[in-house]
Chain A
Amino acid sequence: AQKVTQAQTEISVVEKEDVTLDCVYETRDTTYYLFWYKQPPSGELVFLIRRNSFDEQNEISGRYSWNFQKSTSSFNFTITASQVVDSAVYFCALKGEETSGSRLTFGEGTQLTVNP
Chain B
Amino acid sequence: NAGVTQTPKFQVLKTGQSMTLQCAQDMNHEYMSWYRQDPGMGLRLIHYSVGAGITDQGEVPNGYNVSRSTTEDFPLRLLSAAPSQTSVYFCASQRVWTGGQPQHFGDGTRLSIL
Contact = CB atoms under 8 A, between A and B. Distances in A.
- How many chain B residues sit at the interface, stated as a range, is 20 to 34
B45 A45 contact: no
Interface residues of A, number: 24
Interface stretch (A12-20, A58-66, A72-80, A105-113): A105-113
Interface of B: 31, 33, 35, 40-45, 48, 50, 58-59, 88, 90, 92, 94, 97-100, 102-105, 107-108
A37 B92 CA distance: 13
B68 to A, nearest CB: 13
B100 A50 contact: yes
Interface of A: 4, 6, 9, 33, 35, 37, 43-45, 47, 50, 52, 91, 95, 97, 101-109
A96 B113 CA distance: 34
B42 A103 contact: no
Given A45-B90, A47-B103, A101-B97, 16 more contacts: A4-B42, A33-B99, A33-B100, A35-B102, A45-B92, A45-B105, A50-B102, A95-B100, A102-B31, A102-B50, A102-B97, A103-B45, A103-B59, A107-B42, A108-B41, A108-B42
